[in-house]
Amino acid sequence: MTIQSEKIVPELQSLFAGIDVGAEELILLIRKNATSYKAQKFTNTPADRARLVKKLVNLPGIVVCLEATGVYHFDLSIALHDAGVALMVVNPKSSHNFAKVLMKNSKTDAVDAETLAQYAERMDFVAWARPSDEKIALRSFARRIDALTRQKAAAKNQLHALSASKKNPKAVLRDVNLSISQLEKRIDCLSKEALVLIKKHADLERVFKLLTSVKGIAQTSAIALMGELLLLPQGLSHREWVKFAGLDPRAFDSGKSVHKKTRISKAGNRHIRSALYMPALSAKQHDPYVKAYFQHLVDNGKLPLQALCAVMRKLLHAIHGMLKYDKQFDNTRFYAIPA
């Protein structure tokens, strides 16, 4: 059942719950009529999650708030949503700053759960949008491929270091080479499975074709981007996508004397930044319009890494427009090359 945010009027509700999610434990704290009750513990297992959901379902009108804590909150969020519980999932940075406003002096799981309950009580309700099962599966493929790719890069670095000395036994070098070969086979296998999943769903295949129309986005990069971007809340602007990716500039100026360098915030989803890095690097080498934009930034005083971040940000803007209007990448709109 889909929860519509307009049907929930938080100021008329008197029952709120905060759930602090950990790898092993779930701490539930309920507030009724602005009074907090004793925190309750549940294990983060299918059986205890079901028991927790059943408890909340039996409390009509309750609004539940929890943080997006990696993968550990996901199954609970789906269970609560599918059971019809009004659920909001907040960015940990938002709840952290909210706790500062409340001047919380202690940090325990119970205190964090109470903070989330108060967040639900005081802030505007924004319903969590449940992703489809195929999008959840695609993200799992994308993140596993990314993890194995990082392992392969580390193994290649080890091989390079070991090969620098003739004293290392050949058996050690063979073992590292075997590790690299196995990782490549596993990555290839998972990529093929992901492509099978994409071809089964017309909406996923449409997005895949749009992304691969960008010079620099190959199959692996498209899978990685789809695994993250398709799970973002619906209706976000291109600027909000940039914030979710942590690619928004963060200025730090105070008075006349404090003027720190502007940097990207890195406050968002690191997987989106990771998925954009190689496409941006490839595009600025092989696409003349992207290359011209990159060079323009460098010529105007930007460091190469700063210019690359700007390319990533503008590429994300372009992808947002492509998916919104169902149009392939038009590199001539990326940057107007001076005559």
**Count of C-beta atoms within a 10 Å radius of residue 265:** 14
Q: Are residues 106 and 162 in the same domain?
A: no
Cα first-last separation, the chain: 56
Last residue of a domain, one of 122, 156, 181: 122
- % residues pLDDT > 70 (the chain): 92
302, pLDDT greater than 60: yes
Q: What is the pLDDT of residue 13?
A: 56
Q: Which amino acid does the sequence have at 336?
A: A
Q: Is 313 part of any domain?
A: yes
Query: Per the domain annotation, does 180 fall within a domain?
Result: yes
Residue 49 inside a domain? The answer is yes
Domain boundary at 103, 122, 141, which? 122
Note whether 35 and 113 are same-domain residues.
Answer: yes
Q: Taking 70 as the threshold, does the pLDDT of residue 11 lie above it?
A: no
Number of structural domains the chain divides into:
3
- In this prediction, residue 6 carries a pLDDT of 40
Residues 22 and 115 in one domain: yes
Give 218-238 pLDDT, tens digit per residue.
Answer: 999 999 999 999 998 888 899
Judge if 14 and 99 occupy the same domain: yes
Residues 114 and 86 in one domain: yes
For residue range 106-131, what is the model confidence (pLDDT) as tens digits? Answer: 889 999 999 999 999 999 999 999 99
What is the per-residue pLDDT for 86? Answer: 96
> What pLDDT, on a 0 to 100 scale, did the predictor assign at position 2?
38
> Long-range CB contacts (< 8 A, 24+ apart) of 75-82?
75/46, 75/49, 76/19, 76/21, 76/26, 76/44, 76/49, 76/52, 77/128, 77/130, 78/130, 79/49, 79/50, 79/53, 80/53, 80/56, 81/3, 81/128, 81/130, 82/1, 82/130
- Looking at the structure, tell me whether residues 22 and 117 fall in a common domain: yes
What is the C-alpha separation between 189 and 96, in angstroms, rounded? 40
pLDDT bucket at 256, cuts 50 / 70 / 90: low
- Residues 57, 79, single domain; the answer is yes
Of 143, 175, 200, the residue that ends a domain is: 200
Q: 78 lies in which domain range?
A: 5-122
Q: Which residue has the tokens 């938080």?
A: 10
Q: Is residue 189 part of a domain?
A: yes
**Structure confidence at residue 244 as a pLDDT band (50, 70, 90):** confident
Give the other-Cβ count within 10 Å of 253's Cβ: 10
Residues 28 and 68 reside in one and the same domain:
yes
* pLDDT bracket for residue 190 (50, 70, 90): very high
- My answer on whether 183 and 243 are in the same domain is no
41 and 113 housed in the same domain: yes
The pTM for the full model equals 0.82
Which spans in the chain are helix H?
Answer: 46-57, 74-82, 92-101, 109-122, 133-163, 170-200, 202-211, 219-229, 238-245, 270-286, 288-299, 304-325
Same domain, 108 and 187: no
How far is the C-alpha of 90 from the C-alpha of 67, rounded, in Å?
A: 5
Q: Is residue 231 part of a domain?
A: no
pLDDT digits (tens, 9 = 90+) for 128-154: 999 999 999 999 999 999 999 999 999
Evaluate whether residue 165 is within a structural domain: yes
Q: Is 139 exposed, middle or buried (0-12, 13-18, 19+ CB in 10 A)?
A: buried
Q: Does residue 338 sit within a domain?
A: no
Give the CATH number, domain containing residue 24.
3.30.420.40
> How is residue 99 written in tokens?
């706790």
154 and 94 belong to one structural domain: no
61 within some domain: yes
